[in-house]
Structure 1
Amino acid sequence: MNATVEQLAPVEQQATSGWVVAALYQFKEVQDAAALKERLLDLVGSINLCGTLIVADEGINGTVAGDRAAVDAVHQFLLDEGFTSMEYKESYSSEKPFRKMKIKLKKEIVTLGVEVKPRDLVGHYLDPKEWNDLIARDDVILIDTRNDYEYKAGTFKGAIDPKTESFREFPDYVKKELEQHKDKKIAMFCTGGIRCEKSTSLLLQEGFNEVYHLKGGILKYLEETPADQSMWEGECFVFDGRTAVTHGMEEGANIKCHACGWPLLPAEVELPSYEHGVSCVYCIDNTTEKQKEGFRMRQSQILAAKRKRL
């Protein structure tokens, strides 16, 4: 497959008071990913949808948002295309969570950078109740497979942070930090489950004996688990305008620093280091004054464009 191909489709203003947000993925052999991308483009060009869908030879992955009819249309389209075993979760956003609709053609639907077989080598799936029982044990190594900024917003009690900036770094973490624990019970989790499909497959491929992962990811856990029975601490970072969600899939209190992408609690927004779109406590010392001036100019252009649309 060639390098990433990205196409954009226009998205009209949402007419209702809220947006249906659907996160989905399935590992499934796709005979002609480029042709599937074109069929998706034809569909999304005629419905009120925003978000991102990634198509590859190994399947489909993405998050989309729109009105009820639009989300149902894309869901049914994918079912008709043979994606009948999708991991599919819905939530809601009070505001438009994505600027545009994007369809991307890639080599992987989630980029690990190491060839694995997530349809053949599969860890033990656990539902939320089983997950709570497992991670409460002393003989289990609990690993958050997400990136460092996602871990910062929230994680499960006792989870290890691999301190990765991208999923591509996870195989190196396994080699450096986990090789000596092949006889241990390893439990892993991620936002919606897709990264754990590959990380568990990787560990099994490397000879680990007992590998577990949370079916449906954190989003399913927060949807199904009452707060008083939960082992989750903080909020779950999401890759849309909401920044984070919490139990019951309610929008969280974190907001995103648009300069570095890190989630910020309300108290961190009040710090002198925070300037909207320019800096926060995590990035203020990592950019020059010239770069900050560029960020300020960008923010001015964004505000001007918003005023023009009103």
Structure 2
Amino acid sequence: MKVLNIAAYKFVQLNQLEALQQALVQTLRQLELKGTVLLAEEGINLFLAAPAPSIRDFLVGLRRDSRFADLQVKESWSHAQPFRKLLVKIKPEIIRMDHPAIQPAAGRAPAVSAATLKRWLDAGHDDEGRPVVTLDTRNDFEVDVGTFRNAIDWRITKFTEFPRLLLQHQQALKGKTVVSFCTGGIRCEKAAIFMREAGVEHVFQLDGGILKYFEESGHAHFEGECFVFDERRAVDPALKPRVNVGALSDSPVPEDMES
């Protein structure tokens, strides 16, 4: 039986985290899902896998909670369970930036769809004629597996470095439309908010990240594959696991796991 893999996150104010953690553990174990769920006062971040009926049942139950009713999920398939166990953790942040003033639940940064980004990259400029640059907010080892052609890569080793690097390179972004991107949207959302607050005028996040881009626009303007934080290690633009994962088998899996 094929295994359905889901990735999702939502910035939403959460309380009583321990009770939510216990409820999720009970449900996930009953349905035999494996993977990782991160909970924080700022929201939820998850990567889970199981046969499709179990995944669907879990999502139906989760969305009964009004806080998660509109949770957007990215799906992909594998022939084997890519996770060894289930982890449901409480963290200070669902994606660590060490910048508490950034509160995505209070309002999202402007986003562009995969189709819009493809159209801009095809043209070489946005709808107002400004040059468009893509900014990879992921870690360096993820970038090395695959990224957008000519993307800005600051060789980030952990996401907490992003604010400092942005301030160092901010002048080079002047006069350009900057589209931040990541695997599934969570890091580039926080990054885009920080850039806006730092004074970068024309900045957007890629809605749904690389995974959504693959789903809607395929491999256009993207070179390589997308690193994912499970035993598949990477998926191609068809969202299929790469065949040869040997070169990635020792890649680190940092705290900034993202959906």
Percent identity between the aligned chains? 34
Higher relative contact order (Cα pairs below 8 Å, separated by 6+ residues):
2
CA contact (8 A) 2:170 2:200 kept: no
CA–CA separation in structure 2 for the residues paired with 1:134 and 1:118 = 26
- The AA in structure 1 aligned to 2:231 is G
CA–CA separation in structure 2 for the residues paired with 1:131 and 1:39 = 39
Shift of 1:89: 0.9
The residue number in structure 2 matching 1:120 is: 106
Shift of 1:172: 1.2
| SS of the residue 2:95 aligns to | coil
The Cα RMSD (Å) is 1.8
The 5 Å alignment of 1:1-310 reads: 17-82=1-66, 83-115=68-100, 116-135=102-121, 136-137=124-125, 139-179=131-171, 181-227=173-219, 230-255=220-245, 256-261=247-252
CA–CA separation in structure 2 for the residues paired with 1:184 and 1:225 = 23
Larger Rg: 1
Shift of 1:182: 4.8
| SS of the residue 1:251 aligns to | coil
Deviation sequence 1:43-102 (CA, Å, 0-9, x none): 122121100000111110010000122211221222112202223111111111010010
Q: What stretches of structure 1 of length at least 5 have no aligned partner? A: 1-16, 263-310
* Number of positions where the alignment pairs a residue of Structure 1 with one of Structure 2: 244
After superposition, the Cα gap between the structure-2 partners of 1:197 and 1:240, relative to the gap in structure 1 and judged at 3 Å, is same
Q: What stretches of structure 2 of length at least 5 have no aligned partner? A: 254-259
Q: What TM-score does the superposition give when structure 2 sets the normalisation length?
A: 0.88
Q: What TM-score does the superposition give when structure 1 sets the normalisation length?
A: 0.74
The residue number in structure 2 matching 1:10 is: none
- The AA in structure 2 aligned to 1:236 is C
CA–CA separation in structure 2 for the residues paired with 1:45 and 1:94 = 21
CA–CA separation in structure 1 for the residues paired with 2:76 and 2:63 = 19
| SS of the residue 2:63 aligns to | helix
